Amino acid sequence: MRKTLLAAGAALLLAAGPAAAQQKTIKIGFISTFSGPVAVIGNDMRNSFELALDHLGRKMGGIPVEVIYEDDGFKPEVGKQKTDKLIESDKVDFITGYIWSNVLLASLKSAVDSKTFLITANAGPSQLAGELCSPYVFSSSWNNDQTPQSVGLYMNQKGVKSVFLIGPNYAAGKDMLAGVASTFKGKVVGQELTKWPDQLDFSAELAKAKDANPDAVFVFYPGRAGVQFLTQYAQAGLKGKIPLYTAFTIDELSLPLQKDLALGVPGAQQWVNDLPNDANKKFVADYRKKYNSRPSFYGAQSYDAAMLINSAVVATKGNLSDKNAVRRALEKADFKSVRGNFKFGPNHVPIQNFYLQDVVKDGNEFVLKTTATIVKDFQDVHHAKCKMPAN
Amino acid sequence: MTLFIEQCLNGLQFGLLLFMLAAGLTLVFGIMDLVNLAHGSLYMIGAYFAATFTAWTGSFLLGVAIALGGTLLVGMAVEVIVMRRLYGRDHLDHVLATFGLILFFDESVRLIWGPAGLSLPLPSWLNAPVQILPGIYYSAYKLSIIIVSLAVAAGLYFLVMRTRIGMLIRAGASNREMVGALGVNIKLLYTLVFGLGAALAGLAGLMQAPILTVQIGMGEIIIILAFVITVIGGIGSIRGAFVAAIFVGLIDTLGRSYFTDLIRLAFSKETAATAAPALSSMLIYLLMAVVLVVRPEGLFSAGQK
Amino acid sequence: MKGWLNARNVFIAIVLVALTLLPVYAGITGDRFVVTLFTRIIILAIAATSLNLILGYGGMMSFGHAAYLGIGGYAVGIFAHEGIYSGFIQWPVALIMSALFALVIGALSLRTRGVYFIMITLAFAQMAYYVVAGLARYGGDDGLTIYKRSDFAGLVNLSNKTFFYYFCLIVLYACIYIVWRLVNSRFGLVIQGVRSNETRMRAIGFPTYRYRLVCFVIAGTMCGLAGALVANHTDFVSPAMMYWTRSGDLIVMVVLGGMGSLFGPLFGAVALLVLEEVLSGVTEYWQIILGPLLLLVVLFARGGIDGLLGKVRHA
């Protein structure tokens, strides 16, 4: 009897042996938009991710890394299809990227059902911080509300009494406008949601804003639409007449096109390129050297995502089959983020500072400068709705 | 009131843009009996050429002029290489073949210019508001779109109604066999007509480029509207295309803003924002369906078949 | 027996056997993705088969067929969103709504001919697209995730990948059988007769409008069933399923495979989607090949794959 047990035990050990072994490669899937006018965002994210891998020597925990980039074409159904392909066909260990909240929401079920770890490097729909939170989903960016909420707080600080809100009609747009309204103490005199992404002509909405005569206008238009909006804001004669407050509309990518239209237009962000920590200084300097342009917050978040994944691989010594261990390692977030201190809330959304960014002219260039900290250690408001399942 | 006038102008501008796209389509359809789904690709090529040549030459006007010429040449080349083999065939064949052309053009553009799309910045003299009525400002560029489109429409009218070529075009639209039988060089006529249509499509594409977009697939989005206008106006009729296009442009623009307000009276802002553009688009298709059921030849048919 | 052994029938047999044995292959090689890919192919083959009924056999060029995929899909999606997961409710509604939509569109469109018919079917499909895109409650353009697949009181488990594959395959075979019976019946002969010469059929005394309408409704309903399957397959529906370019894709499948042939739509679906998978691995610009290929098929190989097979004569 004992001999049999011993033999059985030995056999079990032998069987368990290979299972605890390391992977041959770490496969990471990256979903972003590489076509159309917003491709500039996808490229920035890819560049930053690649830079992070360079800094890591293209290895995580000594294991070579392979990244597969897929284009969601700015469409939820395509993003979902590509997510499915990455999970089922390429069998990736981690999946990251995701610029758009609607693409992320469409792809979420596939990742969660297959227990594939998903780190969103931009999209932050509120459902993700709340009822749809999952042990397999993490964010290296923020929750959609947090940034506009900071803008709302800033507008209070500036004594703004009434605001007109304009944004695109999709998951993130709605979150943004709701975010401002939730912290802003004054009156919201009007709100317009435009068709996204087709509608690039905002003359109707601007006319309505002019009619309402608010103290300020708040706008959220990522990518090329941000350029169009500022152009049309000036063309409608509003620039200089009604102050504009923004979130995600002016960044290092759109600024070269917006130029002096963006002067004097403040925005909020959790990362600005002049944050004074070592990791950030290295990131920005090397990015400028390699790509001859400035990284945006999209890139900073992608860089952090790579470092976050790396920290988990190192902590679990490359044994990714133990999902609980990987999760715990991710939750620890034991890496040097380019935004300084980085910690997760219980819903896997970061608790972080938000800074005020202003546009200034530096010689011939237009750059973003951090002018103040609006709020410290800001946590999203949805975490109470998150009932994190065990697995 | 200001808002209404501005919206009317926007609707007019959009309608005129659509007219230029639809004019080429209806001519080709009416005269050569050719269903060309790839007409939207010429629209896209016009925009891409304009963005590229403006960047090369540094001058907006020069870039636009070269782009127009380029699109004309591409159009004529397509006619000679592909379209000639499709004349006389079933409409299904046209649809399939030109669908294949769309795929080819989209991918070629992607190959040559990359997937990211281009931008066409406005020269500063066009990038300012103009006071058209006391207190009412309108974008100088959009105003110029309206003026140029009206000039082109007038030019087309003159061409079709008062010149010999125009007479041949009208004759071909009414009875193409007869025109051929009368000894007119039909092949050349067809190539010229197709080229003209291509140039008009390219013009529409490059005019909207600075304010809207230069990206792959931009043709597919708008070509359906152009077909709808062609059908409502009457196949082969430029006058019909003009009236129908203005109509559609106004419905789309005014519909979007006023439907939003209407729906908001009873429903949430979000519901209104999602439903309104859908509703105004639906209205356009409903209009076409009604026209097809009541008067299938369209409002101003050219008389063919 | 001799008449059966020609290139076309051998090819059909090979394809059918391969499809039936696919999950076994997947089980052996561990490549589960191929089952997902072919489930999608089979579902689209069902849609293409339904289109072939009206396009290939009936000569009715509908450019709005993808609308039924959307209607069937959203029937499942909307119910699931509201918490009703029973397939016994969802699927009949999907079929009935598709049938009704086909009835209304058909009644109005079949009074027109040629390019007008194409345009009006397109218009109605776009209207359906905009209706669905305008429903904020069901996601609008962002689409709707389906968290639980259709439940048939535990009789079938659609969440099991292999089972779902065979389920779809059986539905496909059933649909092809239905088309075969229809086409070879009196009804089918009338439909095909109308395609070649409607005046003659009317002269003989057939109420051609009524026959075509019935055919149209059957095709729409079958496609609605495909839509319900799509919703269960991808766990996601969005208005994009119904956009006019998707109708174009279905037409391409039918023509590529061979219009008016029983297995043509299946060949077309397999060819198009496998080509897409294979070519996109080779170059990301694969559509530059597909475009001209389509052109060449139209110009020179009008009978599609089925036509080419028919040309292969035994030596």
Rounded to whole angstroms, the Cα distance separating A315 from A328 reads 9
Residue type at C278 in one-letter notation? V
- Asked whether the predicted pLDDT for residue B163 surpasses 60, the reply is yes
Q: Cα A372 vs. chain centroid, distance in angstroms? A: 21
- The pTM of this model reads 0.85
For C145, which residue in chain A has the nearest alpha carbon?
A106
More confident residue, B31 or B25: B25
In whole angstroms, what is the distance from residue A33 CA to residue A103 CA? 10
What CA–CA distances, in Å, run from A246 to A154, A160, A270, B33, B294?
11, 14, 14, 52, 50
Phi and psi, residue B84, nearest 5°? -55, -35
pLDDT (tens, 9 = 90+) of chain C, 315 residues, equals: 456 778 888 888 899 999 999 999 888 887 888 899 899 999 999 999 999 999 988 888 899 999 999 999 999 999 999 999 998 999 999 999 999 999 999 998 888 888 888 888 988 898 899 889 888 888 888 889 998 899 888 888 888 889 999 999 999 999 999 999 999 999 998 888 888 888 888 888 888 899 999 999 999 999 999 999 999 999 999 999 998 888 988 998 998 888 888 999 999 999 888 888 777 777 777 778 878 888 888 778 777 887 777 776 543
Contacts of A214 (CB under 8 A, 6+ apart): A162, A163, A164, A189, A190, A242
Tell me, letter by letter, the H, E, C secondary structure of A316-368.
CCCCCCCHHHHHHHHHHCCCCECCECCEECCCCCEEEEEEEEEEEEECCEEEE
C112 burial type by CB count under 10 A (0-12 exposed, 13-18 middle, 19+ buried): middle
Compare CB distances from C142 to A85, A108, A171 and report the shortest one's residue: A171
Name residues of chain A where pLDDT drops below 50.
Answer: 1, 4-20
* Residue appearing with tokens 């059986």: C170
Put simply, whether C130 touches A (Cβ < 8 Å) is no
pLDDT of B276 > 50? The answer is: yes
Region B61-72: mean pLDDT is 94
CB contact under 8 A, A203 and B117: no
**What SS3 state is found at A99?**
coil
- B96, B222, B252, best to mutate vs chain C, most C CBs in 10 Å: B96
Burial of C159 (0-12, 13-18, 19+ CB in 10 A): middle
What is the predicted pLDDT for the residue at A39? 85
Question: Which pLDDT does position C29 carry in this prediction?
Answer: 86
pLDDT digits (tens, 9 = 90+) for A311-334: 999 999 988 989 999 999 999 999
Nearest CA in chain A to B128: A235
C-chain CB neighbours of A169 within 8 Å are 140
Which carries the bigger pLDDT value, residue C62 or residue B116? C62
Q: Does A76 touch chain C (CB under 8 A)?
A: yes
Closest among A264, A256, A269 to A358, alpha carbons compared: A264
Which pLDDT score, from 0 to 100, does residue C242 have?
Answer: 92
Which chain C residues contact residue B231 at CB under 8 A? 116, 119
Say whether A124 sits in a helix, a strand or coil. Answer: coil
In 3D, which of C303, C129, C105 has the Cα closest to residue C221? C105
| Locus of tokens 């062609």 | B230
Residues B203 and B152: beta-carbon distance below 8 Å? yes
pLDDT at A5: 46
Which pLDDT score, from 0 to 100, does residue A197 have? 75
Among A75, A88, A170, beta carbon nearest to C36: A88
H helices within chain A, ranges in order?
A: 2-19, 39-55, 76-88, 101-113, 126-129, 146-157, 171-183, 203-212, 224-235, 255-258, 278-291, 297-315, 323-332
What is residue A202's predicted lDDT score, i.e. its pLDDT? Answer: 85
Q: Tell me if C251 and B101 make a contact (CB, 8 A cut-off).
A: no
Residue B101: alpha-carbon gap to chain centroid: 18
pLDDT digits (tens, 9 = 90+) for C185-218: 999 988 888 888 888 888 888 888 999 999 999 9
Token digits of residue A327: 């999760």
Residue range B32-53: average pLDDT? 92
> What is the b/e burial string over C227-266, where b = at least 16 CB atoms within 10 angstroms of the residue's CB?
bbbbbbbbbbbbbbbbbbbbbbbbbbbbbbbbbbbbbbbb
- B222 contact residues in C (CB cutoff 8 A): none
Block residue for tokens 């059933």: C174
Which residues are A343's β-sheet partners?
A: A351
Mean pLDDT estimate for chain A: 88
Q: What is the dihedral of CA A9, A13, A15, A17, to 10 degrees?
A: 180
Cβ A203–B139 below 8 Å, yes or no?
yes
- Provide, as residue numbers in chain A, all residues whose Cβ is less than 8 Å from the Cβ of B274: 169, 193
Q: What is the pLDDT of residue C141?
A: 83
CB pairs under 8 A between B and C: 127
Tell me, what's the pLDDT at A13? 45
A39 interaction partners in chain B (CB closer than 8 Å): 115-117
Q: Is B119 on the interface with A (CB under 8 A)?
A: yes
Chains contacting A with at least 3 CB pairs below 8 Å? B, C
Minimal-distance CA residue of chain B relative to A42: B116
Count chain A–chain C contacts defined by CB atoms under 8 A. Answer: 44
Q: What is the pLDDT of residue A152?
A: 92
Please give the pLDDT value at position A1.
47
Largest CA distance in chain C: 63
What's the confidence (pLDDT) of residue C314? 43
Which of C33, C36, C240 is the closest to A77 by Cβ? C240
Chain A residues whose CB is inside 8 A of the B115 CB are: 34-36, 39, 71
Q: What is the DSSP letter of A176?
A: H
Picking from B117, B212, B221, the nearest residue to A39 by CB comes out as: B117
Mean pLDDT in residue range B31-55: 92
Distance of CA C78 to the CA centre of its chain: 22
